[in-house]
A and B are shown apart, each in its own frame.
Chain A
Amino acid sequence: QKEVEQDPGPLSVPEGAIVSLNCTYSNSAFQYFMWYRQYSRKGPELLMYTYSSGNKEDGRFTAQVDKSSKYISLFIRDSQPSDSATYLCAMGFGTGGYNKLIFGAGTRLAVHP
């Protein structure tokens, strides 16, 4: 079993839809959680960063962490064609000595006009 599971999609939605992207994980030691957006043939760019449980909102994007269920989500409101990209979740430990992020495989999202 992978440490981080993410549905690869593709997910196709009409413009204006609410999009929900999710990851599950198995290691309860993860303490911080990120979402990266990756356009085709580009490097990942950091979209959202959260520490511990709860919600974080930034414009049309909301990141949600449920540590009790080992489940994180990214919601995109009023989706736009420019949101079409691959979304990667990433998780890390809050203590030193284990210097890496664990990435999900990514979910491909297509928003059509």
Chain B
Amino acid sequence: NAGVTQTPKFQVLKTGQSMTLQCAQDMNHNSMYWYRQDPGMGLRLIYYSASEGTTDKGEVPNGYNVSRLNKREFSLRLESAAPSQTSVYFCASSGRTLGTGGMAFFGQGTRLTVV
């Protein structure tokens, strides 16, 4: 089972460049999420989509945009990358929203370095 698939796995960007991180899930989940993980900070929510057609800001949305392309796919875009966005990015999905007891299943992560 593929579960949650993220592409690319690694990326190096120069300051000011843009890129889109792709995420797809094959579990027929309604809700999808983007997190970033930094040392000592745990996982922090960037944006989420409770269902197809809706997106909402999480804890650290500045500098990012998202698109819920369809039920399976949820992309994260960095319009003008900054060194502070160097992090590991995880996409997750859940059958029920996390606000109603859903369990999050994560992808393998995208390791992004901005120089």
A: residues with CB less than 8 A from B are 4, 6, 8, 31-32, 34, 36, 41-46, 49, 51, 88, 90, 92-101, 103-106
Contact = CB atoms under 8 A, between A and B. Distances in A.
A36 B59 CA distance: 20
The 9 closest A-B pairs by CB, nearest first: A43-B106, A99-B99, A103-B42, A103-B43, A105-B42, A96-B99, A43-B108, A99-B97, A100-B45
Interface string B1-44: 00010000000000000000000000000010000000011111
B99 A95 contact: yes
Interface size grouping (class) on chain B: 20 to 34
Contacts, number: 68
Interface SS of B by simple majority = mixed
Interface of B: 4, 31, 40-45, 48, 50, 56, 58-59, 90, 97-101, 103-109, 111
Contact of B99 (A42, A43, A98, A106): A98
